[in-house]
Amino acid sequence: MQKVPTVYDVAELAGVSIATVSRVLRKPHEVADATRDRVNAAVLDLGYVPSGSARSLAARRSGAIGLCLPDFDGIDEVSGLAPVEFSDGRVSTVLDLPEDVELGDHLYISEVMLGTEIEAWQHGMAVTIAVARGSRGSEIFDNLAGRVDGIVTLARTIPDKQLAHIARRVPVVVLAGPRSDDEYDHITTDNAEGMRVMTSHVLEEHGVTDLAFVGGPADSPDDDARFRGFCQALRAAGLPAPATPVARGDFTRAQGRSIGRRLLAEGRVPRALVCSNDQTALGVLDALTSAGRRVPEDVIVTGFDGIDASEVSRPRLTTVYQPMRDLGRAAVDTLLHRLRDSQIPPQTRTLPVKVLLRGSCGCLPPESV
């Protein structure tokens, strides 16, 4: 680490030119066996590791793709973070009472990350991640854009203006965003159609006509599409569609709970609550059951996403599953296509969703929760 060896050092030790060293590393078959062995020995001997920066600079590609994520953990200022505490050798023991767990809060994003990484790995590329925390986001994303071959970003993570700026340097793929009039490739899921089918199920199979939609953030394109699907199903059934959701949360379980409590307090709980995502639905479920309402007997609750937590709630949540991991994979796939051919017009590729009927709509017998 004191004196990091370079191609020159390797070349000298092996008694060849730097060009040959480079060849041994990149196209070993173009080099004579004996020469190759000498070079490889020198590499091992010196502890040589090629400089990625120099390599990227000369090759005009970095072999990495950038993943931009929104501030999903709520940490947004450096000052707000306590330093890590180390052990003093003692182990404390506490009686841990049950409480509400924000289980699966990061799951959506974790899955997207994983999918991105997997597909990148398949193509021998690395993934560099950047989270839009705090005020320095701008700087962070520019830095990222400068060091990768392409960028995958969740919708609404990077301000439009900056995204446009970045996109002049590297291709951009937007995840879960609406296909607006931009120049980017998009990956979406069947939000509207999924919610339409889900709603129709409640309408037709369960004969419910009194149902309301619990939404997410007003500026969420996902939420918007889901609400549209909900309304569409209502109209198709000859029912009036509301102009807006009965309430809006921020896609967190905590907000779902408070919405549930509010509806209870105001006596506005309908026969079925169709929620815009699982977290919200689970929160609503919490509020309902702790107020003594039976789900699904008194109220039907449905979600959207299919996070793991929806699988272990009581009752298990009927929801619309979307392939989160494939979202990341599809984005990278699209990015690589674009890298190969920058001429093709901006694409929008849609991933399928699947309606999972479980306990919270009443499709399963009580014993299977």
Partner DNA sequence: TTGTACGCGTTATCAG
Partner DNA sequence: CTGATAACGCGTACAA
Residues that bind DNA (CB under 7 A): 4, 6-8, 15-20, 22-23, 25-26, 30-32, 34-36, 48-51, 53-55, 57-60
What is the distance between the alpha carbons of residues 188 and 190, in angstroms, rounded to a whole number? 7
What is the distance between the alpha carbons of residues 15 and 38, in angstroms, rounded to a whole number? 8
243 binds, among DNA, a copy of itself, none (CB under 5 to 8 A by kind): none
Among 22, 40, 56, 138, binds a copy of itself (CB under 8 A): 56
Which candidate, 158, 135, 159, places its Cα nearest to that of 75?
135
Nearest distance from C-beta of residue 346 to DNA, angstroms: 25
Nearest distance from C-beta of residue 42 to DNA, angstroms: 12
Q: Is 73 in the site for a copy of itself (CB under 8 A)?
A: yes
- Which run of H or E residues covers position 81? none
283 in Cβ contact with 310 (< 8 Å): no
Q: CA torsion, points 329, 330, 334, 336, in degrees to nearest 10?
A: 20
Nearest distance from C-beta of residue 5 to DNA, angstroms: 7
Nearest distance from C-beta of residue 4 to DNA, angstroms: 6
CB atoms within 10 A of CB 162: 14
Nearest distance from C-beta of residue 207 to a copy of itself, angstroms: 17
369 binds, among DNA, a copy of itself, none (CB under 5 to 8 A by kind): a copy of itself
Q: CA torsion, points 262, 255, 273, 221, in degrees to nearest 10?
A: 130
17 binds, among DNA, a copy of itself, none (CB under 5 to 8 A by kind): DNA
Among 171, 177, 249, 303, binds a copy of itself (CB under 8 A): 171
Question: Restricting to residues 228-267, which ones interact with a copy of itself according to CB under 8 A?
Answer: none
What 8-state DSSP symbol labels residue 70?
Answer: -
Q: Is 290 in the site for a copy of itself (CB under 8 A)?
A: no
Q: Binders of a copy of itself: how many residues, by CB under 8 A? A: 106
42 in Cβ contact with 13 (< 8 Å): yes
Among 15, 28, 52, 366, binds a copy of itself (CB under 8 A): 52
336 in Cβ contact with 123 (< 8 Å): yes
What is the distance between the alpha carbons of residues 321 and 186, in angstroms, rounded to a whole number? 19
32 binds, among a copy of itself, DNA, none (CB under 5 to 8 A by kind): DNA
Nearest distance from C-beta of residue 43 to DNA, angstroms: 10
Q: Is 90 in the site for a copy of itself (CB under 8 A)?
A: yes
What is the distance between the alpha carbons of residues 201 and 130, in angstroms, rounded to a whole number? 40
What does the block give as tokens for 55?
A: 């390599």
Among 31, 203, 247, 356, binds a copy of itself (CB under 8 A): 356
Nearest distance from C-beta of residue 167 to DNA, angstroms: 16
Nearest distance from C-beta of residue 15 to a copy of itself, angstroms: 22
Question: Restricting to residues 118-147, which ones interact with a copy of itself according to CB under 8 A?
Answer: 118-119, 121-122, 124, 126-131, 133, 136, 139-140, 142-147
270 binds, among DNA, a copy of itself, none (CB under 5 to 8 A by kind): none
CB atoms within 10 A of CB 238: 8
Residue 307 CB burial class (10 angstroms; 0-12, 13-18, ≥19):
buried
What does the block give as tokens for 46?
A: 């010196």
What 8-state DSSP symbol labels residue 15?
Answer: T
31 binds, among a copy of itself, DNA, none (CB under 5 to 8 A by kind): DNA
Q: Which residue lies nearer to a copy of itself by CB, 15 or 352?
A: 352
CB atoms within 10 A of CB 137: 20
Among 189, 220, 289, 302, binds a copy of itself (CB under 8 A): 189
Q: Is 343 in the site for a copy of itself (CB under 8 A)?
A: no
Nearest distance from C-beta of residue 337 to DNA, angstroms: 21
What is the distance between the alpha carbons of residues 253 and 246, in angstroms, rounded to a whole number? 17
